[in-house]
Amino acid sequence: MDIVINQKEYRFKKGIRDDLKIRKSFNQLAKQSFDLNFEVWHQLGFWDEKYIPYVLLDGDCVVANVSVSLMDFSLSGEQKKFIQIGTVMTDPNYRNQGLSRFLIERVLQDWHGNCDAMYLFANDDVKEFYPKFGFAAAQEYQCIRKAPIKSMDVPVKKLNMEATSDLQLLKRKCSSLNPYSYFSMKSSEWLILFYCTSFFKDKVFYIPLYDTIVIMDFEENIMNCYDIFGTGDIPIELILSVVMEKETKKIVFGFTPEPMDGCEISLLNQEDTTLFYRSDNESICTENKLMFPILSRA
């Protein structure tokens, strides 16, 4: 579809996954903008219909993008359908021409009224931009707890994200909700597998005895627990005691755990990152002290 913005003609297209030439240009802009590349994820077969780039092209070159991610959540058992806006990027030679505005308006046109809410995470330098489209800054809260006593006698295996069998195990386990989360992403394989084949590929661990996967890392005596996928019949305290290091003193959750027993709940302050939320109804962030799971951020 050809459109004119600021007296210049562009081609607008959404859903570019299966177009090799456009996908290659999209990846080049993502690499330039965020040091991201979606090609490995695509070649592994994990890019599905839930991640939809809206792009503007000058010729065959992607010069601007706003991506839509279809996000299904369970909020304490209540089902929610959200739209997450992300991968907002413009080629430096095409900035300040209204391209992002056009794409965001198209997203709002397509999805307003067809979801419970829309949200995005913005850098500080564009915090004044998104309120123009009805988004409001929202607060998130993070749970931190004292580490339990270390359990020494249960084996833990680090998964190899380049091994097909380990990838398939992760895909199978993360197709279900995190059973320990108050606010959990559903049918999340596509996004979990993006993280775990890139930034988080060295953070995936499996407890065979409990058939449970924990995505985590360590910073000195702190364990960051990003997500847990298992049957849910093993107490979370036992899961944590098995995977933590002997020196671990504190557990920082990348999701909102349920139950929150023993947790300190504090305002989440992230450097150069602000959550923006848009809904015709009351914000879930106002009604609940929660955070969007780290691994749900597209």
Q: What is the pLDDT of residues 142-186, one digit of tens each?
A: 999 999 999 888 999 999 999 999 999 999 999 999 999 999 999
Q: How confident is the model at residue 255 (pLDDT cuts 50, 70, 90)?
A: very high
- Contact status, residue 268 vs residue 246, Cβ threshold 8 Å: no
256 plus 176 within the same structural domain? yes
Q: Specify burial of residue 193 (Cβ count, 10 A radius: 0-12, 13-18, 19+).
A: buried
- pLDDT at residue 89 greater than cutoff 80: yes
Q: What element of type H or E holds 157? A: strand 157-158
The boundaries of the domain holding residue 23 are 2-139+273-282
User: Residues 109-125: what's their mean pLDDT?
Assistant: 94
130 plus 230 within the same structural domain? no
22 plus 101 within the same structural domain? yes
Q: How far is 74 from 72, CA to CA, in rounded Å?
A: 7
6 plus 104 within the same structural domain? yes
- pLDDT at residue 19 greater than cutoff 80: yes
In a domain, 295, yes or no: no
DSSP 50: T
**Phi and psi, residue 246, nearest 5°:** -60, -35
Q: How far is 241 from 251, CA to CA, in rounded Å?
A: 10
- Contact status, residue 14 vs residue 65, Cβ threshold 8 Å: no
Q: How far is 95 from 110, CA to CA, in rounded Å?
A: 24
- Contact status, residue 103 vs residue 54, Cβ threshold 8 Å: yes
191 plus 231 within the same structural domain? yes
pTM of the model: 0.93
CATH number of the domain encompassing residue 151: 3.40.630
pLDDT of residue 298: 86
DSSP 132: G
Q: How far is 16 from 62, CA to CA, in rounded Å?
A: 10
Q: How confident is the model at residue 280 (pLDDT cuts 50, 70, 90)?
A: confident
Beta bridge partners of 3: 10
Q: How far is 230 from 71, CA to CA, in rounded Å?
A: 21
